[in-house]
Structure 1
Amino acid sequence: MKSSITLFLVNAVFFVIVAVVYGFFTDFTEMVGFPALLLTGVMSGMIGVYLWLTDRRVGRQPQDSEQAEISDADADYGFFSPWSWWPIACAGSAAVAFYGIAMGWWIFPFGAVLGLVSLVGLSYEHDRGDHAH
């Protein structure tokens, strides 16, 4: 976590400096780049401070040690199905729904229905067939 804290705080300082320099070059008249760069620096600083406060509260993490093994991290990342086609169906239905929002609202319900079907399929894929528990 120490490297993440350093990375975010260095990014915060960098983006604030770049925002000020950019503001001087544009005489602070360009109202997209300067605020965007400044907010990027501020948000990066917020993440860095949050990680710093969390690190003080939690203590030493396995990723901070050079001798740590991958198995030292005790988090369970879940169970994923490498053979599943349902995530592709979810992504396709989201693409249809977003296309409907952009091009015509009459397309959106088709994407929403496909999304519900693919989400139910993704949720219940291990409840039947060869992979039932």
Structure 2
Amino acid sequence: MPHPAAPATPSPVHAGPGGETGLKGGPTSAGHPATTARTETAAPASPTATALHCTPPAWRYPAMARHMHEEGTATVDLVLAASGQVEQAAIKTSTGYDDLDSTALAAARRVQCTAEGGTMAGRHVLLPVMFHLH
């Protein structure tokens, strides 16, 4: 009996006070942090990828947000193309700050994913982007 597909949820993206980003698990060989997510197969007739590996680009904590001590976590809902590029990105959960949400969306749109088996076309991925000043 097939299981319903759940959205993939990569490890959170963190932005530090200097604007650097980091993810749990460390950088990839490309020098960017990597995220990994696992989902179940939607249906045997149309196999979807069971493991996604997504590498977000580097981005900076917005200067005014840092100055205003704005912090929060945005959850971005991504829709992937078959190539692993982002077709659509939308804020699912806001940080409460427009500048942090805009930065999270811009970073999420540049995410590139690869899959272990199956297809990524139309796959939804939830990407938490965390903004915390230390």
Structure-2-length-normalised TM-score = 0.23
Structure holding more strand per residue: 2
Larger Rg: 1
Structure-1-length-normalised TM-score = 0.23
- If asked which structure has higher relative contact order (CA below 8 Å, sep 6+), I would say 2
